[in-house]
Amino acid sequence: MAHGRAVLVALVAVSLAGCALGLFRPLPHEFVDSAATTPRPSPVSESANAVAAAVDVSTIEPDVRYLASPELRGRLRATDGNALARAHIVAGLKAAGLAPLFGGGFEQPTYPNGRGAGPHAVNVGGIYRALEPDARWIVLVAHYDHRGVVGGKIQAGADDNASSVALLLALGRSLGRVRPPLRRHVVLLFPDAEEPPDIRTERMGSSWFVLGAEADSSLVSLVADLAPAPRVEPIRLSLPMIEVMPYRPGSRFARSDYFGLREVGQRPFLFLTTGRTETYHTAADTPDTVDYERLGALSRWVARLAVHAADVDVELGWRDWRADPRADARSLLRLYGAIDKSERVAWLLRRALARDRRRVEQLLESWDRGVSPTPESYRALQLASIRAQAALWHPSGWWFALW
């Protein structure tokens, strides 16, 4: 996973995503201005606030430390450590009082090579049921596998993605304690086989569970409905701004578990991420590097958002290939503000970022004057976002100034 805390799917965390249209042809994005179409705010229900308040953040660090412990040796698919992680998640879902998602069981073997070859991976899932049996679903997704042992060093995967698993387990326990009456079922899905070499292929566990924020006003409004929370400051980016990295003209690069859900299920979704850290896919991604206070605050925020989505009386829509250039430009300018506060950004990179920032400001000014975004002007915004994302990931990387 690269790197998402959780994926919120509303129906209700390398093969490129099948989108090459020619080496330098722009991708077929439809440009929208969601600020002009966002619905009126919907009040957050008592159930959403109650579940968020009941999240026991004291369980999060122990879950992370177990899942990222040396005993589990990086939770690589089809290993004993992966099986131990799976057993821990199943036990947590049972203790929370959630029902098994897959018929009579909490596990779903996947067979991308046919059943004769045996299961390739095993998904885990539980469900908190709504009042009506035929209600639609909200699905929260956090993969539980990681990279195992690489070069003789355990890739513990504490941030990626034991933190997300612990977050969803805390949410499940809160749902089990509060037992709120909801309009939609809430599913907690923990896919397997989401790391290389399976990511962005049909072997991903999420591809077998067939059921961003893409630019749809109904999804954007869900986040806007929530009151500000300490240590949680959502910044909205359209998926094209995230998927442009690494940059390959005419292609998009799915960043996380939503790949299978988008390509197979084609359902509305929000991709929630705290961004990539410098420990990503290294042996340094250990439990001691996780900010548990922040993770606890984020857990309560996600719980409120999830139950709000499960309880709000609105239809949630979504269309692929949408982007909101004006909102993306404003969000990118906010990211520059965060970068400015870092003393670790190399001076050469800082100078390149300042140049990018002026270009972003010029683009936004022209769009606000009524000039329509074009594929070429949006590409300029995407290229600026690449350098900003790189600076947030690795601020001392002066060589990003040379792009």
DSSP 73-86: GGGBTTSHHHHHHH
Question: pLDDT digit string (tens) for 116-174?
Answer: 778 889 999 999 999 999 998 888 988 999 999 999 999 999 988 899 999 999 999 99
Q: Is the pLDDT of residue 269 over 70?
A: no
Tokens 């990511």 sit at which residue? 199
Looking at residue 205, what is its pLDDT?
A: 43
- Please, which pLDDT band fits residue 204 given cuts at 50, 70 and 90? very low
The pLDDT value recorded for residue 163 is 92
| pLDDT of amino acid 197 | 59
- Mean pLDDT lowest among 84-98, 102-116, 351-365: 102-116
pLDDT tops 50 at residue 227? yes
CA dihedral over 253, 257, 262, 265, signed as positive or negative: positive
Q: Read off the pLDDT of each residue in 211-218 and give the average, rounded to a whole number.
A: 49
Comparison of pLDDT for 389 and 333, the residue scoring more? 333
- CA 162 to chain CA centroid, Å, is 13
- Give CA separation, 403 vs 105, 249, 333, 349, 398, in Å: 50, 15, 19, 10, 10
Cβ–Cβ under 8 Å, residues 319 and 216: yes
- Give the chain's radius of gyration (CA, Å): 21
Is residue 6 scored above 60 in pLDDT? no
Third-level CATH fold of 6-321: Aminopeptidase (3.40.630)
Q: What is the largest CA-CA distance in the chain?
A: 61
Percent of the chain whose pLDDT exceeds 70: 78
What percentage of the chain reaches a pLDDT higher than 90? 47
pTM for the model = 0.79
Region 274-278 average pLDDT: 64
Q: How many CA atoms lie within 13 Å of 111's alpha carbon, on the beta-carbon side?
A: 5
Return the minimum-mean-pLDDT range out of 53-67, 173-187, 249-263, 329-343. 249-263
